[in-house]
Protein backbone atom coordinates (compact mmCIF):
# COMPACT_ATOMS: atom_id res chain seq x y z
CA UNK A 1 0.00 0.00 0.00
CA UNK A 2 2.87 2.34 0.81
CA UNK A 3 4.28 1.76 -2.67
CA UNK A 4 0.98 2.73 -4.31
CA UNK A 5 0.66 5.81 -2.11
CA UNK A 6 4.09 6.94 -3.30
CA UNK A 7 3.14 6.55 -6.96
CA UNK A 8 -0.60 7.24 -7.37
CA UNK A 9 -3.24 9.68 -6.25
CA UNK A 10 -5.95 8.67 -3.80
CA UNK A 11 -8.65 8.18 -6.40
CA UNK A 12 -6.28 6.13 -8.59
CA UNK A 13 -5.54 3.83 -5.65
CA UNK A 14 -9.27 3.35 -5.05
CA UNK A 15 -9.66 2.23 -8.66
CA UNK A 16 -6.59 -0.04 -8.59
CA UNK A 17 -7.68 -2.00 -5.54
CA UNK A 18 -10.99 -2.74 -7.28
CA UNK A 19 -9.11 -4.83 -9.86
CA UNK A 20 -9.57 -8.56 -9.26
CA UNK A 21 -6.26 -10.40 -9.26
CA UNK A 22 -5.91 -13.60 -11.32
CA UNK A 23 -5.42 -16.99 -9.72
CA UNK A 24 -2.40 -17.77 -11.89
CA UNK A 25 0.56 -15.57 -12.83
CA UNK A 26 -0.11 -13.49 -15.95
CA UNK A 27 1.59 -10.59 -17.66
CA UNK A 28 0.21 -7.12 -17.13
CA UNK A 29 -1.47 -5.52 -20.13
CA UNK A 30 -2.92 -2.10 -20.88
CA UNK A 31 -6.72 -1.97 -20.82
CA UNK A 32 -9.24 0.78 -21.59
CA UNK A 33 -11.87 0.76 -18.86
CA UNK A 34 -14.68 2.34 -20.87
CA UNK A 35 -15.27 -0.57 -23.25
CA UNK A 36 -16.31 -4.16 -22.49
CA UNK A 37 -13.36 -5.67 -24.34
CA UNK A 38 -10.80 -3.25 -22.86
CA UNK A 39 -9.76 -1.91 -26.26
CA UNK A 40 -9.79 1.84 -26.84
CA UNK A 41 -12.34 3.24 -29.27
CA UNK A 42 -12.96 6.81 -30.42
CA UNK A 43 -16.66 6.33 -29.63
CA UNK A 44 -16.01 5.57 -25.95
CA UNK A 45 -13.67 8.58 -25.67
CA UNK A 46 -16.35 10.73 -27.31
CA UNK A 47 -18.93 9.70 -24.72
CA UNK A 48 -16.39 10.27 -21.94
CA UNK A 49 -15.84 13.78 -23.28
CA UNK A 50 -19.57 14.44 -23.25
CA UNK A 51 -19.86 13.36 -19.64
CA UNK A 52 -16.85 15.41 -18.55
CA UNK A 53 -18.24 18.46 -20.33
CA UNK A 54 -21.75 18.08 -19.01
CA UNK A 55 -23.38 16.58 -22.11
CA UNK A 56 -25.30 13.35 -22.51
CA UNK A 57 -24.72 10.23 -24.58
CA UNK A 58 -26.48 11.00 -27.82
CA UNK A 59 -25.39 11.28 -31.42
CA UNK A 60 -23.65 14.41 -32.70
CA UNK A 61 -26.66 15.25 -34.87
CA UNK A 62 -28.76 15.71 -31.70
CA UNK A 63 -26.29 17.50 -29.48
CA UNK A 64 -27.99 20.85 -29.67
CA UNK A 65 -25.90 23.28 -27.65
CA UNK A 66 -23.56 20.74 -26.04
CA UNK A 67 -20.35 22.55 -25.13
CA UNK A 68 -17.94 20.12 -26.79
CA UNK A 69 -19.86 20.12 -30.09
CA UNK A 70 -19.90 23.92 -30.10
CA UNK A 71 -16.16 24.06 -29.50
CA UNK A 72 -15.53 21.61 -32.34
CA UNK A 73 -17.72 23.52 -34.79
CA UNK A 74 -16.25 26.87 -33.78
CA UNK A 75 -12.62 25.73 -33.83
CA UNK A 76 -10.37 27.70 -36.15
CA UNK A 77 -8.53 25.88 -38.94
CA UNK A 78 -4.92 25.20 -37.82
CA UNK A 79 -2.14 26.78 -39.96
CA UNK A 80 -0.79 23.44 -41.23
CA UNK A 81 -4.28 22.32 -42.23
CA UNK A 82 -4.73 25.60 -44.11
CA UNK A 83 -1.58 24.90 -46.12
CA UNK A 84 -2.72 21.34 -46.81
CA UNK A 85 -6.01 22.56 -48.26
CA UNK A 86 -4.22 25.08 -50.47
CA UNK A 87 -1.60 22.63 -51.77
CA UNK A 88 -4.14 19.89 -52.46
CA UNK A 89 -5.75 19.47 -55.93
CA UNK A 90 -8.75 21.46 -54.60
CA UNK A 91 -6.57 24.58 -54.17
CA UNK A 92 -8.79 25.88 -51.36
CA UNK A 93 -7.50 29.22 -50.10
CA UNK A 94 -8.32 28.96 -46.40
CA UNK A 95 -5.29 31.17 -45.75
CA UNK A 96 -7.28 34.27 -46.56
CA UNK A 97 -10.47 33.58 -44.61
CA UNK A 98 -9.16 34.65 -41.21
CA UNK A 99 -10.21 32.78 -38.06
CA UNK A 100 -13.48 31.55 -39.51
CA UNK A 101 -14.90 28.48 -37.67
CA UNK A 102 -14.49 25.18 -39.50
CA UNK A 103 -18.25 24.51 -39.71
CA UNK A 104 -18.95 27.96 -41.10
CA UNK A 105 -16.20 27.50 -43.69
CA UNK A 106 -17.72 24.19 -44.84
CA UNK A 107 -21.15 25.84 -45.07
CA UNK A 108 -19.71 28.45 -47.41
CA UNK A 109 -18.16 25.70 -49.58
CA UNK A 110 -21.50 23.93 -49.91
CA UNK A 111 -22.82 26.96 -51.76
CA UNK A 112 -19.84 27.00 -54.16
CA UNK A 113 -19.24 23.34 -55.00
CA UNK A 114 -21.87 20.80 -56.01
CA UNK A 115 -19.79 18.10 -57.70
CA UNK A 116 -19.85 14.75 -55.85
CA UNK A 117 -16.26 13.87 -56.80
CA UNK A 118 -15.07 17.24 -55.46
CA UNK A 119 -16.62 16.46 -52.07
CA UNK A 120 -15.19 12.94 -52.07
CA UNK A 121 -11.72 14.48 -52.33
CA UNK A 122 -12.59 17.11 -49.71
CA UNK A 123 -13.62 14.57 -47.06
CA UNK A 124 -10.69 12.30 -47.88
CA UNK A 125 -8.29 15.17 -47.22
CA UNK A 126 -10.20 16.17 -44.07
CA UNK A 127 -9.85 12.61 -42.77
CA UNK A 128 -6.13 12.57 -43.62
CA UNK A 129 -5.61 15.82 -41.69
CA UNK A 130 -7.38 14.27 -38.71
CA UNK A 131 -5.18 11.13 -38.88
CA UNK A 132 -2.06 13.31 -39.12
CA UNK A 133 -3.17 15.20 -36.02
CA UNK A 134 -3.69 11.92 -34.12
CA UNK A 135 -0.24 10.68 -35.13
CA UNK A 136 1.32 13.84 -33.74
CA UNK A 137 -0.76 13.93 -30.54
CA UNK A 138 -0.33 10.27 -29.59
CA UNK A 139 2.87 9.14 -31.32
CA UNK A 140 4.73 12.44 -31.79
CA UNK A 141 5.18 11.54 -35.46
CA UNK A 142 4.82 14.41 -37.87
CA UNK A 143 3.51 13.75 -41.37
CA UNK A 144 4.42 16.35 -43.98
CA UNK A 145 1.75 18.06 -46.06
CA UNK A 146 2.60 16.25 -49.28
CA UNK A 147 2.34 12.88 -47.55
CA UNK A 148 -1.05 13.79 -46.05
CA UNK A 149 -2.43 14.73 -49.46
CA UNK A 150 -1.02 11.64 -51.19
CA UNK A 151 -2.38 9.40 -48.44
CA UNK A 152 -5.81 10.93 -48.83
CA UNK A 153 -5.95 10.55 -52.59
CA UNK A 154 -4.22 7.20 -52.99
CA UNK A 155 -6.20 3.98 -52.94
CA UNK A 156 -5.84 0.59 -54.62
CA UNK A 157 -7.89 -0.07 -57.76
CA UNK A 158 -10.84 -2.51 -57.68
CA UNK A 159 -10.18 -6.19 -58.41
CA UNK A 160 -9.68 -6.64 -62.15
CA UNK A 161 -8.62 -3.00 -62.64
CA UNK A 162 -4.97 -2.00 -63.00
CA UNK A 163 -3.46 1.21 -61.69
CA UNK A 164 -1.19 2.88 -64.23
CA UNK A 165 1.35 5.51 -63.15
CA UNK A 166 3.46 7.39 -65.69
CA UNK A 167 6.02 10.15 -65.50
CA UNK A 168 8.37 12.06 -67.83
CA UNK A 169 11.38 14.36 -67.61
CA UNK A 170 13.54 16.22 -70.12
CA UNK A 171 17.32 16.03 -69.98
CA UNK A 172 19.84 17.01 -72.64
CA UNK A 173 17.21 17.32 -75.33
CA UNK A 174 15.73 13.88 -74.72
CA UNK A 175 12.46 12.84 -73.11
CA UNK A 176 12.77 10.22 -70.40
CA UNK A 177 9.61 8.19 -69.84
CA UNK A 178 8.69 5.71 -67.10
CA UNK A 179 5.50 3.81 -66.31
CA UNK A 180 4.28 1.02 -64.03
CA UNK A 181 1.03 -1.01 -63.99
CA UNK A 182 -0.12 -2.66 -60.77
CA UNK A 183 -3.09 -4.77 -59.66
CA UNK A 184 -5.38 -4.25 -56.67
CA UNK A 185 -2.85 -5.62 -54.14
CA UNK A 186 0.05 -3.59 -55.52
CA UNK A 187 1.82 -6.35 -57.44
CA UNK A 188 3.59 -5.05 -60.54
CA UNK A 189 2.17 -6.44 -63.76
CA UNK A 190 4.26 -4.39 -66.18
CA UNK A 191 7.00 -1.77 -65.86
CA UNK A 192 8.64 0.17 -68.67
CA UNK A 193 11.07 2.95 -69.45
CA UNK A 194 12.05 4.62 -72.69
CA UNK A 195 13.99 7.59 -73.99
CA UNK A 196 13.19 9.50 -77.18
CA UNK A 197 14.33 12.77 -78.78
CA UNK A 198 12.38 15.95 -78.10
CA UNK A 199 12.31 19.10 -76.02
CA UNK A 200 8.68 19.92 -75.30
CA UNK A 201 6.91 21.71 -72.45
CA UNK A 202 6.14 19.75 -69.29
CA UNK A 203 2.47 19.14 -70.08
CA UNK A 204 3.30 17.66 -73.48
CA UNK A 205 5.97 15.31 -72.13
CA UNK A 206 3.63 14.14 -69.35
CA UNK A 207 0.95 13.46 -71.96
CA UNK A 208 3.43 11.52 -74.10
CA UNK A 209 4.36 9.40 -71.07
CA UNK A 210 0.69 8.68 -70.34
CA UNK A 211 0.11 7.67 -73.96
CA UNK A 212 3.09 5.31 -73.94
CA UNK A 213 1.86 3.79 -70.67
CA UNK A 214 -1.63 3.06 -71.98
CA UNK A 215 -0.22 1.58 -75.18
CA UNK A 216 2.05 -0.79 -73.24
CA UNK A 217 -0.83 -1.74 -70.94
CA UNK A 218 -3.04 -2.60 -73.92
CA UNK A 219 -0.27 -4.69 -75.48
CA UNK A 220 0.04 -6.55 -72.17
CA UNK A 221 -3.66 -7.42 -72.29
CA UNK A 222 -4.78 -5.02 -69.55
CA UNK A 223 -8.10 -3.45 -70.53
CA UNK A 224 -9.49 -1.99 -67.28
CA UNK A 225 -7.21 0.86 -66.31
CA UNK A 226 -6.98 3.63 -63.72
CA UNK A 227 -4.49 6.19 -65.00
CA UNK A 228 -2.81 8.23 -62.25
CA UNK A 229 -1.46 11.62 -63.38
CA UNK A 230 0.60 14.13 -61.40
CA UNK A 231 0.20 16.93 -63.97
CA UNK A 232 -2.95 18.89 -63.12
CA UNK A 233 -3.39 20.44 -66.61
CA UNK A 234 -3.24 17.01 -68.23
CA UNK A 235 -5.59 15.52 -65.64
CA UNK A 236 -8.23 18.19 -66.29
CA UNK A 237 -7.97 17.72 -70.05
CA UNK A 238 -8.42 13.95 -69.79
CA UNK A 239 -11.11 14.09 -67.11
CA UNK A 240 -13.21 16.38 -69.33
CA UNK A 241 -12.46 14.13 -72.32
CA UNK A 242 -11.36 17.21 -74.26
CA UNK A 243 -8.46 19.66 -74.39
CA UNK A 244 -8.74 23.43 -74.44
CA UNK A 245 -4.98 23.97 -74.63
CA UNK A 246 -3.72 23.92 -78.21
CA UNK A 247 -0.11 23.23 -77.34
CA UNK A 248 -0.73 19.58 -76.44
CA UNK A 249 -4.18 18.83 -77.82
CA UNK A 250 -2.88 16.26 -80.33
CA UNK A 251 -1.17 14.18 -77.65
CA UNK A 252 -4.29 14.30 -75.46
CA UNK A 253 -6.40 13.15 -78.41
CA UNK A 254 -4.00 10.22 -78.89
CA UNK A 255 -4.53 9.20 -75.25
CA UNK A 256 -8.31 9.40 -75.58
CA UNK A 257 -8.25 7.28 -78.75
CA UNK A 258 -6.13 4.65 -77.03
CA UNK A 259 -8.44 4.77 -74.00
CA UNK A 260 -11.49 4.19 -76.21
CA UNK A 261 -10.08 0.79 -77.22
CA UNK A 262 -10.00 -0.33 -73.56
CA UNK A 263 -12.91 -1.79 -71.64
CA UNK A 264 -12.69 1.13 -69.20
CA UNK A 265 -10.21 3.87 -68.35
CA UNK A 266 -10.56 6.26 -65.42
CA UNK A 267 -8.31 9.27 -64.88
CA UNK A 268 -7.33 10.64 -61.48
CA UNK A 269 -4.78 13.04 -60.06
CA UNK A 270 -1.96 11.91 -57.78
CA UNK A 271 0.68 13.93 -55.92
CA UNK A 272 4.32 13.66 -56.96
CA UNK A 273 5.14 11.51 -53.93
CA UNK A 274 2.53 9.02 -55.08
CA UNK A 275 4.28 8.78 -58.46
CA UNK A 276 7.76 7.82 -57.24
CA UNK A 277 7.95 4.45 -58.99
CA UNK A 278 7.19 5.91 -62.44
CA UNK A 279 9.55 8.81 -61.73
CA UNK A 280 12.41 6.46 -60.84
CA UNK A 281 11.75 4.37 -63.95
CA UNK A 282 11.95 7.53 -66.07
CA UNK A 283 15.34 8.33 -64.52
CA UNK A 284 16.46 4.76 -65.18
CA UNK A 285 15.88 5.18 -68.94
CA UNK A 286 19.32 6.84 -69.26
CA UNK A 287 20.83 3.35 -68.87
CA UNK A 288 19.11 1.99 -71.97
CA UNK A 289 19.24 2.96 -75.63
CA UNK A 290 15.76 1.62 -76.45
CA UNK A 291 12.41 0.72 -74.94
CA UNK A 292 12.65 -1.67 -71.97
CA UNK A 293 9.66 -3.59 -70.63
CA UNK A 294 9.54 -5.84 -67.53
CA UNK A 295 6.66 -8.29 -67.08
CA UNK A 296 5.65 -9.06 -63.48
CA UNK A 297 8.95 -7.70 -62.17
CA UNK A 298 10.83 -4.43 -61.80
CA UNK A 299 14.52 -3.52 -62.06
CA UNK A 300 16.44 -3.60 -58.79
CA UNK A 301 16.74 0.20 -58.77
CA UNK A 302 13.02 0.70 -58.10
CA UNK A 303 12.23 -2.25 -55.80
CA UNK A 304 12.34 -0.04 -52.71
CA UNK A 305 9.97 2.49 -54.27
CA UNK A 306 7.47 -0.27 -55.11
CA UNK A 307 7.64 -1.66 -51.58
CA UNK A 308 7.17 1.80 -50.07
CA UNK A 309 4.09 2.32 -52.25
CA UNK A 310 2.53 -0.97 -51.13
CA UNK A 311 3.15 -0.24 -47.45
CA UNK A 312 1.74 3.28 -47.62
CA UNK A 313 -1.22 2.75 -49.95
CA UNK A 314 -4.64 3.01 -48.33
pLDDT surpassing 80 at residue 175: yes
Integer Cα distance of 112 and 107 in angstroms: 9
What average pLDDT does range 48-72 have in this prediction? Answer: 54
Task: Check residue 16 and give its pLDDT.
Answer: 74
Residue 251: pLDDT over 80: yes
Phi, psi (rounded to 5 degrees) for 175: -95, 125
The CA distances from residue 109 to 98, 117, 130, in Å, are: 15, 14, 19
What's the rounded mean pLDDT across residues 34-38?
68
Decide: 269 and 89 in contact? Cβ < 8 Å.
yes
How many angstroms separate the CA atoms of 202 and 313, rounded? 27
| pLDDT per residue as tens digits for the range 97-146 | 566 677 777 777 887 888 776 777 777 777 777 777 777 777 777 766 66
Q: Are 286 and 307 a contacting pair, CB within 8 Å?
A: no
Instruction: Examine the pLDDT at 71 and tell me if it is beyond 60.
Output: no
Q: In angstroms, what CA-CA distances link 167 with 9, 40, 95, 159? A: 60, 43, 31, 24
Extents of the domains making up the chain: 2-71, 74-153, 162-312
The answer on pLDDT for 190 being more than 90 is: yes
Residue 72 pLDDT > 60, yes or no? no
Higher pLDDT, 21 or 115: 115
- Please give the pLDDT value at position 209: 93
pLDDT grade for 58, boundaries at 50, 70 and 90: very low
β-strands 188-197, 224-229 pairing:
unpaired
**pLDDT mean across residues, the chain:** 77
Cα within 13 Å of Cα(61), Cβ side: 0
Average pLDDT on 73-77 reads: 53
Which pLDDT value is given to residue 221? 93
Percent with pLDDT over 70 in the chain: 70
Residue 62 has pLDDT above 60, yes or no: no
**The CATH number, out of the four listed (3.40.50.620, 3.40.250.10, 3.30.420.10, 3.40.50.300), of the domain defined by the range 162-312:** 3.30.420.10
The answer on pLDDT for 230 being more than 70 is yes
Q: Where are the beta strands (DSSP E) in the chain?
A: 162-171, 174-182, 188-197, 224-229, 264-269, 292-295
The more confidently predicted of residues 208 and 84 is 208
0.75 exceeded by the pTM? no
Amino acid sequence: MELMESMFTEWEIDEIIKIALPSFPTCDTWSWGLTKHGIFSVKSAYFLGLRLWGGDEQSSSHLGNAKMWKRLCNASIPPKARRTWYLSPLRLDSLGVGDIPFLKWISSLVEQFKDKDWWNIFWSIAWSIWLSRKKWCFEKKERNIGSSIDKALSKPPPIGTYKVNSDAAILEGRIRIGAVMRNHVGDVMVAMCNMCPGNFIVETTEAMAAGHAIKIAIEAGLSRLELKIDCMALYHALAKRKCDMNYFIDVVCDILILASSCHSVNFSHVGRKGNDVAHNLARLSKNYSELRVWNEEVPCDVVNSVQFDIEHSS
